[in-house]
Each structure stands twice: as C-alpha cells, then as structure tokens.
Amino acid sequence: MSAALIRAATPADVGAVFALMHELAEFEKLTHLFVATEQDVHDALFGTRPAAEALVAEQDGAVVSYALFFQNFSTFLGKRGLYLEDLYVRPSMRGSGLGTQMLKKLAALAVERQCGRFEWSVLDWNQNAIDFYEKMGATVLPDWRIVRVTGEPLERLAVSS
C-alpha cells in the first residue's frame, strides 16, 4: 500500500467527499439528519461564496478520507480560529496514521494562517476518538455544550420580537 496523498479538495472530489459524508452520518447514527445534496456540498466548497474548505486523502487514486473546515473568530484571543467540522477516515484506513496526518496538516494550516486556535467537537460516546485526540495533545472541554437552533424553531426565532 502506497502512502496517502493529502491535498486540497477540488470540484472533481465533491462526489467522493459527499459519499464519505454519508458514511460519517451512518457511523454517527445520524442519517435521519443528513439532508445535504452533492450540489449543496459543491456550493459550500466551490460556489460564489464558499462557506468551507476541505482536504482529502487519496490512496491508490481513491479518496479515503476528508476533513471539512472553516475559519471562525475568537473574541478572547482577538484572532481567527480554524474549526474542523468533519474528519472522516474510511474504516479500512483507520490505524494507518492517516487521521494523525490530517490533523497535523490542519494544525499547520492554522499556524500558517496565524489562527489563535484549532478546535472541533467530538461525540461523548466516541471514546476511541476522545482518546486519540487527547493523545495528540488536544483538550476535551468538559464545561461547554453545543447550542443549536434549526428548522422550524430557527424560523420562529427569526421572526419573533
């Protein structure tokens, strides 16, 4: 097996990235929430107002991993941050060091862009991922919870006074 090539995603990768996104939804048991289309992903990454970026890892010509990320901002640091929305490695490639390589590439990108931090979320039941991240030097913040408004409640909030 040759070493994986990690590179910026291109429009030609959208189909493969979309397929991996669906695999991630299956792994997280969240396919009931997965409503994105390939066109949504294309527009988010390569449309007139890109909302995110992606790295892909290619093994023997096939995309086997992706990382989708975007920049945010820390008011406390007064600097941009890099937020990792998704990191997915095909099960056949887990344990090969590819996840570590992807995180290192993203950390280097954060440093290059002078970001004050690089962060992401992890599901509380995914102990393998938590252990992996902590081994790499990441801190899992115990006091923070994600707050989300979507769908009908978002519509109601937008028009409330």
Q: Which sequence positions are flagged as catalytic?
A: 133
pLDDT digits (tens, 9 = 90+) for 17-76: 999 999 999 999 999 999 999 999 999 999 999 999 999 999 999 999 999 999 999 999
**pTM of the predicted model as reported, rounded to 2 decimal places:** 0.92
Q: 3 pLDDT exceeds 90?
A: no
For residue 23, the domain's CATH number is: 3.40.630.30
Q: 1 pLDDT exceeds 60?
A: no
For residues 93 and 103, what is the distance between their CA atoms, to the nearest angstrom? 15
Tell me which residue range forms the domain holding 51: 5-159
Q: What is the CA radius of gyration of the chain?
A: 17
Complete edge-to-edge strand list for the sheet that includes strand 117-120: 5-8, 53-59, 62-74, 79-89, 117-120
- Using CB atoms within 10 A of its CB, is residue 68 exposed (0-12), middle (13-18) or buried (19+)? buried
pLDDT digits (tens, 9 = 90+) for 95-121: 899 999 999 999 999 999 999 999 999
Total domains in the fold of the chain: 1
Give the tokens for residue 143. Answer: 């006091």
